[in-house]
Amino acid sequence: MAILEWDESMSVGVYLIDEQHKELVVLINNIADAVKASASVSEVSRFIRRFYNYTIVHFQTEESLMDHNSYADYFTQVREHLDCSTKALEFHRRFVEEAEFDLVEFLEYIVGWFRGHTTGIDQGLTEYLVVRGQTHLEKSGKA
Ligand SMILES: [Fe+2]
Ligand SMILES: [Fe+2]
C-alpha cells in the first residue's frame, strides 16, 4: 500500500499545480518503496534527489505565480517551501553519511508536510490565480 495517495481533498483546483502535486506523491512513494525493499543507499539516495529536485521545480512554479505585492501569504508560502527543502537536504545528508540511519522519521515528516501544505496554504492559490486571470493554467473542475 502506498504511503501517500492523491485524493481530491488535496486539489487546489488549478491543473498545473495539481499535476505537479501528483508527481510529488509519486516521488515520495518511490522513496518509501525503495526503503521498504531495502534498496541500496545509492538507490534510495537517487530517489531522494529526484524528489528534492522536483520540489525545487514545483516551488519555483508556485513562487513565480505569486506576487509579494498582492498575495498576502507569499512569505509564508516561501518559508514553508524552504522548510521542506531544508529538511529533505538534511535527512538526505544523514542517510548518506550515517550508517543505519532510519528514514522513517523523514517519510513521516514529508507525508505530514505534503498533506498539511497542499490542503492548507496551497489552497489559497486557487482563488488568487483565478482572480488574477491565470486561466491558461486551466482549472481542473473544482468549484
Ligand atoms: Fe506551496
Ligand atoms: Fe504546492
Taking the centre of ligand 1 as the mean of its atom positions, its distance from the CA of residue 37, in whole angstroms, is 30
Tell me the domain boundaries of the chain.
12-136
Percent of the chain whose pLDDT exceeds 70: 94
Write out pLDDT tens, residues 2-31: 999 999 989 888 888 999 999 999 999 999
Taking the centre of ligand 2 as the mean of its atom positions, its distance from the CA of residue 99, in whole angstroms, is 32
Q: Give me the count of residues in the chain.
A: 143
Residue 128 makes CB contacts below 8 A (sequence gap 6+) with: 66, 70, 71
We find that the CATH architecture of domain 12-136 is Up-down Bundle (1.20)
8 Å CB contact between 111 and 2: no
Taking the centre of ligand 1 as the mean of its atom positions, its distance from the CA of residue 13, in whole angstroms, is 13
Q: Where is pLDDT greater, at 128 or 2?
A: 2
- The whole model's pTM is what? 0.91
Write out pLDDT tens, residues 27-53: 999 999 999 999 999 999 999 999 999
